[in-house]
Amino acid sequence: MLRLRRAQMDGMSAAVRRAFERRMAGKLMESFPAECASMGSAALASVIREGIDRAAQHRIDRESDVALYLHLVIALGPAFDSELGWAKDILRDPELPEGARRMQRLYREAVARTSPPGDGEHGR
**SS3 letters for 75-117?**
HHCCCHHHHCHHHHHHHHCCCCCCHHHHHHHHHHHHHHHHCCC
Distance between CA atoms of residues 9 and 113, nearest Å:
31
Q: How confident is the model at residue 90 (pLDDT cuts 50, 70, 90)?
A: very high
Q: Residue 86 pLDDT more than 80? A: yes
Contact 47, 74 (CB under 8 A): yes
Q: Where are the domains of the chain?
A: 6-114
Q: How confident is the model at residue 121 (pLDDT cuts 50, 70, 90)?
A: very low
Q: Residue 23 pLDDT more than 60? A: yes
Chain center to CA of 27 = 12
Angle, to 10 degrees, between the axis of helix 14-31 and the axis of helix 41-57? 110
Tell which wins on pLDDT, 44 or 123: 44
Tell which wins on pLDDT, 28 or 98: 28
Give phi and psi for 118, each to the nearest 5. 90, 0
Contacts 24+ apart (CB under 8 A), 29-35: 31/71, 31/74, 32/71, 32/74, 32/75, 35/74
Question: Rounded to 10 degrees, what is the CA torsion of 107, 16, 36, 27?
Answer: -60
